[in-house]
Every structure is written in structure tokens, then in C-alpha cells.
């Protein structure tokens, strides 16, 4: 990623967060990763104090989102991000254990850009994350406000 894109990782399981981070780093992505372990903190960060998302105007963000969070549902976060005029262009990668077809369909309908199911098999998991990292290194991310 040419411009300094910040990766927002919303993942309640710290183990998962660690494994994801490791594998992204292994694929050679060195962008800043801001981890959040619950939805509320992540929303506060994303939308700022005034709740408009104006804070991130001009910043390029990429969101890695888990659907099963302790306080809010990842789907809610996805919806709010895609409804916000500053954040709606931010790519959202849903990375979760759920492989229910209804859930996947719903996420894409709400504007999720990539949906990845976490495989239990670690080789597949590591592989998936590394490929995601490779993907991160080539995609163009627009700044948060146009």
C-alpha cells in the first residue's frame, strides 16, 4: 500500500488478533495496525468524539472486522460504517468463524468488500491471512472523505 493506510482490526479474541497480525506481517505488510477487542471502543475510534467520523477525514483506513463481538454485533458496525458519509468508501474485510450462507449474503448486501471464513486448520488460516496481506499490499484505498 503506497499511502499510509491504517488497518483497524476489530477482533475480540486476542489470540486470533495475534495470529492475524503475525501472518499479515509475514506477508510483508508493515502498515500500522490498530487493534480493538470490542465494538464500542472501535466505534468510538472510528466515529470520533462527535460521532460523525469527521476525525478521519483524509485518512485512508481499512477495517478488518469479526462478526462475533461481546458487546455489539459486527453486522451493526458494518452497517454504521457503510452509512457514514466519510467512512463508506473504507474497505471492510469481514473475517469471522461464521460460514452460514445467510450471514455471508447479508454482509455483502450491507456493503462488505471481502468476506473470509477463518479456517480452523492453521495452515489454511495462515495461508488465507497471508494472501489477504498480499491483497492489502496491492489494493488502492481511498482517503476517508471525498
Helix 74-83 crosses helix 39-47 at what angle (to 10 degrees)?
10
Q: Rounded to an integer, what is the distance from CA 143 to the centroid of its chain?
A: 15
Candidate segments 29-37, 44-52, 80-88, 93-101, binder of another protein by CB under 8 A: 93-101
Helices (H), the chain: 14-26, 39-47, 74-83, 101-109, 122-138
State yes or no: residue 71 binds another protein (CB under 8 A). no
Contacts of 52 (CB under 8 A, 6+ apart): 84, 86
Per CB under 8 A, the list member of 30, 50, 109, 120 interacting with another protein is 120
What three-state secondary structure class fits 112? coil
Per CB under 8 A, the list member of 3, 44, 73, 97 interacting with another protein is 97
Please state, in angstroms and rounded to a whole number, the distance separating the CA atoms of residues 73 and 49: 21
Q: How far is the CB of 94 from another protein (least distance, A)?
A: 14
State yes or no: residue 16 binds another protein (CB under 8 A). yes
Per CB under 8 A, the list member of 40, 68, 131, 146 interacting with another protein is 68
Please say which residue, 32 or 123, places its beta carbon nearer to another protein.
123
State yes or no: residue 138 binds another protein (CB under 8 A). no
State yes or no: residue 123 binds another protein (CB under 8 A). yes
State yes or no: residue 130 binds another protein (CB under 8 A). no
> What count of other Cβ atoms lies within 10 Å of the Cβ of residue 51?
12
> What torsion do the CA atoms of 43, 127, 5, 33 make, to the nearest 10 degrees?
50
Q: How far is the CB of 103 from another protein (least distance, A)?
A: 10
Residues at the interface with another protein (CB under 8 A): 13, 15-16, 19, 22, 68, 97-98, 100, 118-123, 125-126
Amino acid at each position: 500500500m503506497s499511502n499510509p493506510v491504517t488497518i483497524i482490526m476489530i477482533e475480540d479474541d486476542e489470540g486470533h488478533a495475534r495470529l492475524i497480525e503475525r501472518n499479515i506481517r509475514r506477508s510483508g505488510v508493515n502498515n500500522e495496525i490498530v487493534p480493538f477487542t470490542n465494538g464500542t471502543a472501535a466505534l468510538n475510534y472510528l466515529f470520533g468524539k462527535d460521532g460523525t467520523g469527521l476525525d478521519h477525514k483524509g485518512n485512508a483506513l481499512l477495517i478488518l472486522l469479526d462478526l462475533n463481538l461481546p458487546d455489539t454485533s459486527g453486522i451493526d458496525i458494518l452497517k454504521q460504517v457503510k452509512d457514514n458519509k466519510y467512512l463508506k468508501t473504507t474497505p471492510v474485510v469481514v473475517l469471522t468463524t461464521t460460514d452460514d450462507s445467510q450471514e455471508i449474503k447479508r454482509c455483502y448486501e450491507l456493503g462488505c468488500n471481502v468476506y473470509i471464513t477463518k479456517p480452523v486448520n492453521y495452515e489454511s488460516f495462515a495461508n488465507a491471512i497471508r494472501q489477504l496481506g498480499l491483497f492489502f499490499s496491492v489494493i488502492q484505498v481511498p482517503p476517508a472523505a471525498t
